Structure 1
Amino acid sequence: MNDTNTEFDIRYSIRIEQLNAMFFNRVDTLMAITQIFLGSAIFAGVGFSGMAGALVSLLSVITFTVKPTLKAVQSDNQAKRYIALLTPDLDVKERRDQYFRIQELDNHVLLSFSNIAFIRAGMEMGLDVSNKTLSRFEVFMARFVGERLKRTGNE
């Protein structure tokens, strides 16, 4: 493997971890806002108090079991480990070895971000990724986490 392949792999890993962190941060925020809104509706005594209470309980259980904040922090920390590998002080073999060691600590990331991270890493390195196509769901996920990629023709 040459250094270009290693650098691409590192940039891809950085992007997928950052996308995963952003996703879980936004999910956590969305769930908290929804819980506040539904809790306020219960307090105000709207007609769907029972349903709102059930939804607040469900969101609390999901937040407690999934722990989106923890997943976001873990992904963010992993991205920082990868970013440290981009220093020019490391030679090719040392960079690759450290990459494999860090990769063993990888989080379970959402595979929906795979193509998005690939395109973004390719764009960062100046590679031609204009032939890569994103599905509608991938475009939605990209928008949700703040990426502004198009379905096709990303340069």
Structure 2
Amino acid sequence: MRTDTRLPRILHVLLHLHETDVPITSERIGRMLGMNPSLVRRTMGGLREAGIVGSTKGHGGGWYLEKRLADITLSDVYDALGEPCLFAVGTSDDTPTCLLEQAANTATESALEIARASFLGALDETTVADLVEGSRKPTDESHRCKG
């Protein structure tokens, strides 16, 4: 099963945008993440619409932060990405009139809702600035990315 890695990837990009004084091109972000630049532009477009990032065209153009990291929650980024599906687990509709299937679906939906609420609550309580805390030691050079 394929997983959706856009949230951590875009958080990664936001952290790099924070570390630079110049806009970063879609091509450079694409190299860093191993993504096609057009996919970078589409993905970042949702963040631009949410007011998280801005962009400039032309020579010296690219993506830049519109907000301070402390003003961006992980929930803001998740919402800007279109709230990707959290779980592959779902309910069954093989025999919708069966009371046992209904009970199994109710239990599954309940557990999923608890997990979803916990996940969304954690995103809402965490800012992108919080990710900088403890992300590396002052002498750590391992944060270098290709691109």
After TM superposition, is the score higher than 0.5? no
Higher RCO (CA-CA < 8 Å; seq separation 6+): 1
Higher share in helix: 1
Q: TM-score, normalised by structure 2?
A: 0.26
Higher share in strand: 2
Q: TM-score, normalised by structure 1?
A: 0.26
